[in-house]
Amino acid sequence: MGALPLLRAHVSRPVTTSPRDFETTSLPESLTVLNPATEEVVAEIPTVSPEQVAVAVERAAKAQQAWAALAPGDRARLLRRFADGVDARIDELADLEVTEAGHTLGNARWEAGNARDLLEYAAGGVERLIGRQIPVAGGLDVTFHEPLGVVGVIAPWNFPMPIAAWGFAPALAAGNAVLLKPAETTPLTALLLQDIALAAGLPEGLFQVLPGHGRITGQAIVDHPGVRKIVFTGSTPVGKEIMSRCASGLKRVTLELGGKSPNIVFADADLQRAAASAPMAFLDNSGQDCCARTRILVQREVYDDFLALVAPAIEAVRVGDPRDAATEMGPLISAVQRDRVRSYLTDDVPVLARGKAPEGPGFWQAPMLLAPEDAGCRAATEEIFGPVAVVLPFDDEADALRLANATRYGLSGSLWTRDIGRAVRMARGVNAGNLSVNSHSSVRYWTPFGGFGESGLGRELGPDALAHFTETKNVFISTED
Ligand code: NDP
């Protein structure tokens, strides 16, 4: 694919704003987007400056007022058209996702479909954003869900389309305007989504995509007083920093910060099923998945049998050209990420399974299963965000729970057992926001998603998704004469 023409940025007007303490580093004024499977340059995208962010906020605020004043049915109709536009261009969106993120074509199509589904789901919620009538003496008391205003969505590179849509779809549906900052490695699908939104008839300025560096463009969105909520997905340190920056303006914040999720296999489980699921439960999206089950905990009595099934399956995973329909795993997003992953592959941690990957060019890393002797080592406790898992044995339920909860994270996890009582006991005991029993699925847009501990703050998706982008207003109307 050749270089893309610059898609609209809507922020080109010069501006005058009061100066703020933006970090002025010598970062380049354009983003060079690489294909991670080939290292070829696929696009150069100008970055958005803090001054341009201020202009974008002004435009968004104007557009938001008109948007919130629309009849709910009209807002819903426009969002459905946006969803239809995504549907009509799924191939193009998927192609961009493969090109800039290195995702397999099947995954990329799923991701574009997820963004479409989210828009449809959110559109369906517009007319169900219902307040309450509360019994009071001397009058009528009702609650309203008022939109927040302008919302900033700071998206990561691992699932650029779905995670952006988890923020922008419910935010728009609830009557807000959205400024979306995509990760600098993956701005292309976001820019195309912006075009699709405009073509669908969403007002100019309502949904603006602002590509740029996190520390400049992202921080300018976070710091702008006109932005009333930040939805951030990314690393825990950046999440904490964003939260502290939001504190001064009491800005709302939702943080989704990754994990180190357990995949707990009891001796009474269907071992074949558990073993068939385990490889892709941590290798999907090359392991760059906040819900990846990267700590495989296996009851001691079936430890050897389980590994005899899983190790060859990991070694057989097909890693290569993401456009090839037979490929199961593509490259990592960048050289930085590949080097970060490799920093965990130290000689002192035994390797139980080692898959194959192309040499390069491209940011390749073979799947690896490690068996650390020390459950407290870096590889067993830190989020690697690559195709690497550890396996550890446990003795009984209490031991499994101890190991499962021996982490500062708490995003998701799986339990494999045929004992329903055990499944419920364990599910209640594991400190995580999203658990699955005899499955490794994590994300369903109609159920709430979010983490315990350092996996984040707040919830996305699910039936309350729109309400998270509103303030509740209570109005009392006296009925006294
Ligand atoms: P970051 O947390 O740095 O980036 C996530 C997003 O935040 C990007 O859009 C980034 O922009 C932006 N950003 C960075 N700094 C700031 C800031 N100060 N203010 C506002 N926005 C900012 O993650 P990395 O890309 O560096 O990945 C590092 C690690 O984070 C991974 O190895 C993984 O462990 C974890 N991670 C977790 C994710 C999850 O799904 N929970 C997703 C991505 C990463 P820019 O792209 O310009 O840096």
Rounded to whole angstroms, what are the CA distances from 124 to 73, 129, 406, 449?
9, 10, 40, 19
Which among 97, 111, 184, 256 is annotated as catalytic?
Answer: 256
Q: Which ligand 1 atom lies nearest to the CA of residue 185?
A: 46
Q: What's the gap in Å between 134 CA and the centre of ligand 1?
A: 43
pLDDT the model gives residue 360: 86
Lining residues, ligand 1, CB within 6 Å = 154-158, 181, 183-184, 213-215, 218-219, 222, 233-235, 238, 241-242, 256-258, 290, 340, 383, 385
> Among 223, 238, 332, 337, which residue has the most ligand 1 atoms within 8 Å of its CB, making it the best to mutate?
238
> Among 154, 236, 407, which residue has the most ligand 1 atoms within 8 Å of its CB, making it the best to mutate?
154
pLDDT the model gives residue 32: 96
pLDDT the model gives residue 17: 27
| Residue 117, C-beta contacts closer than 8 angstroms, at least 6 positions apart | 83, 445
Residues in the chain where the model's pLDDT stays below 50: 1-25
CATH superfamily of 262-443: Aldehyde Dehydrogenase; Chain A, domain 2 (3.40.309.10)
Q: Which ligand 1 atom lies nearest to the CA of residue 181?
A: 9
pLDDT the model gives residue 1: 33
Q: What's the gap in Å between 182 CA and the centre of ligand 1?
A: 10
- For the chain, the helix, strand and coil percentages under 3-state DSSP, each to the nearest 5: 40, 20, 40
pLDDT the model gives residue 18: 30
| Residue 337, C-beta contacts closer than 8 angstroms, at least 6 positions apart | 288, 363, 385, 386
* Cα 161 to Cα 442: distance, rounded to the nearest angstrom: 17
Select the CATH number that applies to the domain covering 4-257+456-473 from these four: 3.30.2130.30, 3.30.930.10, 3.40.605.10, 3.30.300.340. Answer: 3.40.605.10
pLDDT the model gives residue 481: 85
In the chain, which residues fall in CATH 3.40.605.10?
A: 4-257+456-473
Q: Is 383 in the active site?
A: no
Torsion of CA 91, 94, 98, 99, to 10 degrees: 70
pLDDT the model gives residue 26: 60
In the chain, which residues fall in CATH 3.40.309.10?
A: 262-443
